[in-house]
Structure formats: C-alpha cells, structure tokens
A and B are shown apart, each in its own frame.
Chain A
Amino acid sequence: MQDVLILRIVFGFLAAIIAVFSVMAVTSRRILRAATYLLFVLFATSGLYFFLNYSFLGAVQLLVYAGGIIILYVFSILLTNTDQESRAPIFSLRRWLAMLATFGGIALMIYLLLTNTWPEATMDTSAEVNMRVIGHTLMGSEKGQYVLPFEVMSVLLLACMVGGLLIARKRS
C-alpha cells in the first residue's frame, strides 16, 4: 500500500513539474530560461516514460532531447544574442484569444477525458519491454517490424544534417 502511495506522490510530482514548467517555458521573457524550463519538462516527460515502464523510450528521450536538442537551443540562443524577447502588450487581443482557446481547450479535453468510457484495459503486462524484442522489432522486416522507417529516419537525419549545414553556412 505504501508503495502505491509513494508512486502516486512521484507521479504527482512529475505532473506538477510538467504543468508548471511548460507554462513557465511559454511565458518567460528570457529565452534562455525558457529553454531551461523546457529541459525540466523534458526530464519530467522521460520520468513519465520510466513510470510507464518504457525505460528505453525514456532513455532515448533523455539522450536526444536533453542531450542533443536542448544543447542546440542553448547554442542558437547564445549565437543569435537574443536572450531577451521584445516586450509585447500584456493584454493584446491575440493574447486574450489565445488564452481563451487554451483554457477552453483544456477544459474541453479534461471533460472529454473524464467522461469517456475507455475500452477495457488490462494492466497485466505492465512489465518492462524486453530489449531484445525492441531490437528485433526495430531491425526486423516482418509484419509489425520497423526496419524501413528506421532506415528512412536515418536518411532523414543525414539530410537534415546536410541541409542544416547548407543553410547555416557563411556565405562569402
């Protein structure tokens, strides 16, 4: 029983981090701080993955996001020297409408989630996904296996790398 309580507290903690820091990430006027808050959100997200027993996914999330993307952000913020966002009118029409849409959307979603009846879910296989299974699924070419998307993804990444270099290179 105690285990369950602790786990619930942990989940509440992660959820609170996500909710608070995602809101802060989009409201902070300092871009570098926003990036840092994003990092916290992403950490918490990987925590959720661990919580769901998707350790591999959580690890990837940590590696790619926290280790790669956030670094890119920080570098670009420093390179473009625009830490401070220009001051917008606090209550412009667009901001009001955006808030309306946001709160309306959240309210709608929560209503929907809480009133919906989900198909019968069995939690009997909440076990960790075997690493061997993940490897086979990723590299197999059978039905339900993903070698083709995997290869496409690698080509995409290569293309992005080349494209990024091409776009950002200094022109003489």
Chain B
Amino acid sequence: MEPIISMEYYLIVSSIMFFAGIYGFITRRNLIAILISIELVLTSTDINFAVFNRFLFPHQLEGMFFSLFSIGVSAAETAVAIAIIINIYRNIKNVEVRNIKKLKD
C-alpha cells in the first residue's frame, strides 16, 4: 500500500529547515539569533529520526525515543546557553558576537 505522503517529502522539508539553521548560524550576529538557528538544526534532525523510524523500521521505537531525548537535551542546552548569554549581557551590555573577544576581563 502506497503511503499517503512518501518519505522523501518529509526529508526534503527537514533538510530545508536544517540548511536554514546552518545559514542562520553562519550569518547571524546576535547570540540569541544564533541559538534560534541551532534550535532549527536540532529540530530538523528530530524530524529525521521520527521519519526514519516510522517509514523504515515501524516495529521499533528507537527513532522516536531518540527524538524524545534530543528534545530534552536541547531544552537543557538552551537553558545553559541563555544563562551564559544573560551573563555576557551583564558584563558588556551587548550580545553581539563581534564584541565578545575576551573570555575573562
């Protein structure tokens, strides 16, 4: 039986998302914007896990759980990153990448 939507379309969508994230990561100048780009990249990989699980190995659950844990990890990562960003902001009143040149003052 032919699936309603074939797998390639999911993957194309996720790769568009992935490369949008890459583009953002390279070109953005604001730390929070960069973090948003990273979020896009992570989410696109989550989609891939879920899609591969559903279409290729439907009897197993690894992909889904991997996505689940990945969501948890990205939440943790975001929390720490934002804490760091706020700390940087306290120090230099700014979160632009080009202004962050010193690890310690």
Size category, A interface:
35 or more
Q: Which of A95-135 contact B (CB under 8 A)?
A: 95, 97-99, 101-103, 105-106, 109-110, 113-114, 118-119, 121-126, 129, 133-134
Q: B51-75 CB contact bits vs A (8 Å, 1 = yes)?
A: 1001110111110110111011111
Q: Are A77 and B32 in contact (CB under 8 A)?
A: yes
Closest A residue, CB atoms, query B60: A144
Number of A-B contacts (CB under 8 A): 237
Q: Are A123 and B71 in contact (CB under 8 A)?
A: no
Minimum CB–CB distance for B38 against chain A, Å: 11
Q: Are B28 and A26 in contact (CB under 8 A)?
A: yes
Q: Are B82 and A72 in contact (CB under 8 A)?
A: yes
Q: Are A122 and B58 in contact (CB under 8 A)?
A: yes
Complex contacts, A144 vs chain B, CB 8 Å: 60-62
Q: Are A88 and B29 in contact (CB under 8 A)?
A: yes
Q: A21-59 CB contact bits vs B (8 Å, 1 = yes)?
A: 011011100010011001001100100110111101100
Q: Are A102 and B75 in contact (CB under 8 A)?
A: no
Q: Are B75 and A68 in contact (CB under 8 A)?
A: yes
Given A31-B32, A86-B29, A160-B80: A106 in contact with B19 (beta carbons within 8 A): yes
Closest A residue, CB atoms, query B16: A19
Q: Which residues of chain B have a CB within 8 Å of any CB of chain A?
A: 1-5, 7-13, 15-17, 19-24, 26-30, 32-33, 35-37, 39-40, 43, 46-47, 50-51, 54-56, 58-62, 64-65, 67-69, 71-80, 82-87, 89-90, 94-96
**Across chains A and B, which 9 residue pairs bring their CB atoms closest together, nearest first?**
A26-B24, A164-B83, A168-B83, A160-B76, A167-B83, A22-B20, A109-B15, A98-B26, A80-B89
Chain A to chain B contacts (Cβ below 8 Å), 5 pairs: A18-B16, A45-B47, A121-B56, A156-B76, A160-B79
Q: Which residues of chain A have a CB within 8 Å of any CB of chain B?
A: 4, 7-8, 11, 14-15, 18-19, 22-23, 25-27, 31, 34-35, 38, 41-42, 45, 48-49, 51-54, 56-57, 60-61, 64-65, 68-69, 72-73, 76-77, 79-82, 85-86, 88, 94-95, 97-99, 101-103, 105-106, 109-110, 113-114, 118-119, 121-126, 129, 133-134, 137-138, 144, 146, 149, 153, 156-157, 159-161, 163-168, 170
